[in-house]
Structure 1
Amino acid sequence: MMWLAFYNENVGDVLLLTRGGGVPDDFIETESQGNVTLIKDRRSSEVVSANIFNMKDAIKPANNGNITLTEADLEWVNEQIQAVGFDLTIDVDNTPKFVVGYVEEVEAHEDSDHLSITQTDIGDEVVQIVCGASNIDEDQYVIVAKPGAVMPNGAIIWPGELRGEASNGMICSTSELGLSDIDDMPGIWELEDEFEPGTPLEEVVSFYRG
């Protein structure tokens, strides 16, 4: 999995890089050199995250959450890591993490009275997403948080399982996205207009806000 880049001003002047979630705290170990800290899964010694401190002089993020790193930014990142002696090269995934999805299929989860299993087209692939919203249905256009998306509350979406069924993303409500000013209905955000699956959330927001 390629690396993902994040920024959160509440954390401080730190570039957060990760390529995996779900490592239990008991198995995390850290190694620091200079302005770089690596976070590893000690069971495998795999580096799962990296923090680079004092980053604002070189990289100026426009927002919290997922950030895009240019080629120049990435060159700076790798220079910082390798200058302190770590043998690690970062290659980031800059693709949009919040996109339009088209719900092709919905079936009830056999082990739940409220979960549904969807097959949702997100543009480049059809993914299975387990959804707990009562208003989920076929032939809907929705917003999907793909694996690697950072929600406004700081939570990162990773692939996982719900009641034994794989779930590769999250179908979102406007409140979860911080967009209740556009639509404040309960449940997932049912887009009133048709959009091409894979359309970035920013384009949808611009369309509705005019």
Structure 2
Amino acid sequence: MIASYNPAQIGDVLVVVLGPDDGPQKVTQRDQIVEIKDQNGNVIGYNFFAAQALLPELVDQNGQVKLTPEQIQILNQQLQAAGFETGLPETETSKFVVGYVKEMKEHPKSSHLHITTTEVEDGRTLQIVSGSPNMQEGIKVVVAEVGAMMPDGLIIWPSTLKDVESDGMICSGRELRIPNAPDKPGALILPDEYEVGQPFDFKQAQTLFSE
């Protein structure tokens, strides 16, 4: 789940994204809420109009919003009152985690892409296609899992790169907007003290490239 609020661009509207926006959509509005479904009938998002009346804290927000459990409860009450059946998930885990590249092989249809098997939380592995020139086995990296919103607003969804499925993204320092990160392609290789499966701590990372 990704929530964003940009009053300068779209007004007093809280946008909540639950799934990828691809193909035809069905839009239903009830009261001050718009529900968006994909062609298979899955709810992929909600727009909450007059959002500050529901969540006064939004007055100082701009960009991605980290909703608290209390705020999610308020929004779910509004959805229920409007007659919508699908609510928002009550708990959210970080979509940026420390990963470990267990295996890497070259992409059969590309000279610069690599197919990785990358371990994330609880021993779970993801197949991630990466174009990082410094990709290799045995390194710790930052993985943006499916559903993550990058600092530039890009949302990570499952994708297919030259016929190979990819479920996530291995990030560079500049993509994460870490201060003083090299302005060039390449995965951010984390020091050994980072633990695989732990949420990536953006505050701790502010000193990774200290001058």
**TM-score with structure 1 setting the length:** 0.85
Residue 44 to residue 192, structure 1, CA distance change in 2 (3 Å): closer
Alignment partner for residue 55 of structure 1, among 39, 51, 54? 51
Q: Which residue of 1 aligns with 2:40?
A: 44
- Find the residue that maps to 1:99 and give its secondary structure: strand
- Find the residue that maps to 1:174 and give its secondary structure: coil
Kept in 1, the 8 Å contact 2:179–2:207? The answer is no
More off after superposition, 73-82 vs 9-18: 9-18
Q: Which residue of 2 aligns with 1:90?
A: 88
**TM-score with structure 2 setting the length:** 0.84
- Superimposed CA distance per residue, residues 97-123 of structure 1 (whole angstroms, 9 cap, x where no aligned partner): 111111111100111111100011112
Measured on the aligned residues, the alpha-carbon RMSD in Å equals: 2.4
Partner AA of 2:48 in structure 1:
I
Residue 6 of structure 2 corresponds to residue 6 of structure 1:
no
Kept in 2, the 8 Å contact 1:66–1:149? The answer is no
| Aligned-partner Cα distance in 1 for 2:106–2:74 | 48
More off after superposition, 90-99 vs 101-110: 90-99
- Find the residue that maps to 2:196 and give its secondary structure: coil
How far apart are residue 6 of structure 1 and its match? 1.3
Q: Which residue of 2 aligns with 1:171?
A: 170
Residue 112 to residue 196, structure 1, CA distance change in 2 (3 Å): same
Alignment partner for residue 71 of structure 2, among 66, 70, 73? 73
- Find the residue that maps to 2:208 and give its secondary structure: helix
- Find the residue that maps to 2:175 and give its secondary structure: helix
Kept in 1, the 8 Å contact 2:178–2:206? The answer is no
| Aligned-partner Cα distance in 2 for 1:194–1:188 | 17
How far apart are residue 131 of structure 1 and its match? 0.2
Partner AA of 1:194 in structure 2:
E
Alignment partner for residue 118 of structure 1, among 94, 116, 119? 116
Kept in 2, the 8 Å contact 1:65–1:151? The answer is no
How far apart are residue 142 of structure 1 and its match? 0.9
- Superimposed CA distance per residue, residues 61-113 of structure 1 (whole angstroms, 9 cap, x where no aligned partner): 6673362331x222211121122232332224510011111111110011111
Partner AA of 1:73 in structure 2:
Q
Residue 22 to residue 69, structure 1, CA distance change in 2 (3 Å): same
| Aligned-partner Cα distance in 1 for 2:143–2:180 | 19
| Aligned-partner Cα distance in 2 for 1:50–1:107 | 40
Residue 160 to residue 92, structure 1, CA distance change in 2 (3 Å): farther
Residue 45 to residue 127, structure 1, CA distance change in 2 (3 Å): closer
Partner AA of 1:55 in structure 2:
A
More off after superposition, 170-179 vs 189-198: 189-198
% same residue: 35
The answer for unaligned runs of 5 or more in structure 2 is none
Q: Equivalences for 1:151-162 in 2 at 5 Å? A: 151-162=150-161
| Aligned-partner Cα distance in 2 for 1:206–1:90 | 32
Kept in 1, the 8 Å contact 2:21–2:44? The answer is no
| Aligned-partner Cα distance in 2 for 1:57–1:205 | 36
The answer for unaligned runs of 5 or more in structure 1 is none
Residue 73 to residue 186, structure 1, CA distance change in 2 (3 Å): same
How far apart are residue 14 of structure 1 and its match? 2.6
Q: Which residue of 1 aligns with 2:208?
A: 208
How far apart are residue 5 of structure 1 and its match? 3.2
